[in-house]
């Protein structure tokens, strides 16, 4: 899943000694502070954008590392002629309830680059769009892969706004100076083509039979998971944990199936301890075999 985020740059100028060391780790030839111009970039954050999606807060540290060493270009033109900058450092920042990636980039002074530097200083080149690849987009309401459940982005469910949460960073491509951003500070722009669903790929490559087999297994898995959640709720009610069924279901529905399997096993063990099964048939040792001595010969 390829995404782009609109961001902004902040002018800076001369690098510090630590920044120059990080820059030289990216450069093939040693650069001096007079040769480079540095600036900071606010990359993607964890807020819901106009497309009804947001980055998972927990995914930002890994994504920040992927951006280190990536190039800065103009208007998303993937060519060496468009390269003007490069990221040499990135970190995750928390401010006013928002978590975002702040990166630092450098530009080599001289020639056409001086025009870009002047535009940054003048506040003309201010908006930046970044591109990256995320492995998953899950529903914020139920945790399922978005598109496989009935929830819709932008709709409210029990007072909770539904959005797609972008997880599992796979790659970071670039950041680009753009003229007119289409989004807010951290808006998503779908990029690099349409993402095809599994059925579309199966039809395209003639793998319908394999798709049907996988679909059947997935349906059976959903039935098993539903039964598993019902069993855990039943065991919790049996143990009288003090929580009503709606509360239990609200918690259990958000738990992973692997965790529920372990929880079910533990609850079943507890039930056996507190409510042991007693046989209604007397055992052989419980029989009282008394014989009247008057009938003995």
Would the pTM of this model clear 0.85, i.e. be above it? Answer: no
Same domain, 87 and 184: yes
* Residue 293 falls inside a structural domain: no
Residue 200 banded pLDDT, cuts 50, 70, 90: low
Inform me whether the pLDDT recorded for 77 exceeds 70: no
Residue 1 banded pLDDT, cuts 50, 70, 90: low
* Residue 142 falls inside a structural domain: no
Residue pLDDT, tens place only, 86-95 = 999 999 999 8
Same domain, 187 and 264: no
* Residue 279 falls inside a structural domain: no
Same domain, 128 and 206: no
Same domain, 18 and 110: yes
Same domain, 177 and 233: no
Same domain, 182 and 43: yes
Inform me whether the pLDDT recorded for 262 exceeds 70: yes
Inform me whether the pLDDT recorded for 39 exceeds 60: yes
* Residue 143 falls inside a structural domain: no
* Residue 79 falls inside a structural domain: yes
Same domain, 175 and 220: no
Percent of the chain with pLDDT over 70: 78
> How many structural domains compose the chain?
2
Same domain, 81 and 118: yes
| Per-residue pLDDT, 188 | 27
Same domain, 59 and 181: yes
- Both tokens of 177, joined, read 């100076």
Inform me whether the pLDDT recorded for 183 exceeds 60: no
* Residue 161 falls inside a structural domain: no
Inform me whether the pLDDT recorded for 247 exceeds 70: yes
CA distance 297 to 291: 12
* Residue 182 falls inside a structural domain: yes
| Per-residue pLDDT, 286 | 52
Residue 161 banded pLDDT, cuts 50, 70, 90: very high
Domain end, chosen from 146, 177, 195, is at: 195
Inform me whether the pLDDT recorded for 164 exceeds 80: yes
Domain end, chosen from 179, 195, 211, is at: 195
- Residue 238's domain spans which residues? 201-274
Percent of the chain with pLDDT over 90: 22
Residue pLDDT, tens place only, 55-69 = 999 999 999 999 999
- Both tokens of 36, joined, read 């480079």
Same domain, 179 and 211: no
Same domain, 17 and 101: yes
* Residue 236 falls inside a structural domain: yes
Same domain, 176 and 242: no
């Amino acid at each position: 899943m390829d995404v782009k985020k609109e961001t902004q740059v902040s002018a800076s100028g001369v690098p510090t000694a630590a920044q120059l060391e990080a820059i030289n780790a990216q450069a093939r030839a040693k650069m001096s502070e007079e040769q480079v111009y540095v600036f900071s970039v606010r990359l993607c954050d964890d807020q819901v954008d106009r497309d009804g999606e947001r980055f998972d807060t927990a995914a930002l540290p890994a994504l920040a590392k992927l951006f280190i060493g990536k190039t800065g270009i103009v208007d998303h033109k993937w060519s060496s002629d468009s390269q003007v900058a490069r990221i040499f450092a990135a970190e995750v920042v928390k401010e006013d309830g928002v978590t975002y990636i702040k990166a630092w980039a450098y530009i080599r002074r001289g020639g056409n680059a001086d025009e870009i530097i002047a535009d940054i200083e003048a506040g003309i080149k201010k908006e930046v769009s970044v591109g990256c690849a995320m492995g998953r987009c899950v529903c914020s309401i139920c945790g399922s892969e978005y598109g496989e459940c009935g929830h819709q982005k932008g709709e409210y469910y029990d007072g909770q706004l539904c959005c797609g949460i972008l997880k599992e960073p796979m790659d970071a491509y670039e950041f680009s100076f753009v003229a007119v951003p289409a989004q807010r500070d951290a808006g998503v722009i779908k990029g690099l083509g349409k993402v095809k669903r599994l059925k579309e790929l199966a039809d395209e490559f003639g793998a319908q039979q394999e798709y049907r087999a996988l679909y059947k297994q997935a349906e059976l898995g959903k039935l098993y998971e539903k039964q598993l959640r019902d069993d855990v709720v039943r065991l919790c009610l049996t143990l009288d944990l003090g929580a009503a069924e709606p509360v239990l279901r609200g918690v259990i529905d958000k738990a992973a199936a692997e965790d529920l399997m372990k929880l079910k096993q533990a609850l079943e063990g507890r039930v056996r301890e507190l409510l042991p099964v007693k046989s209604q048939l007397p055992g052989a040792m419980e029989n009282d075999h008394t014989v009247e001595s008057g009938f003995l010969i």
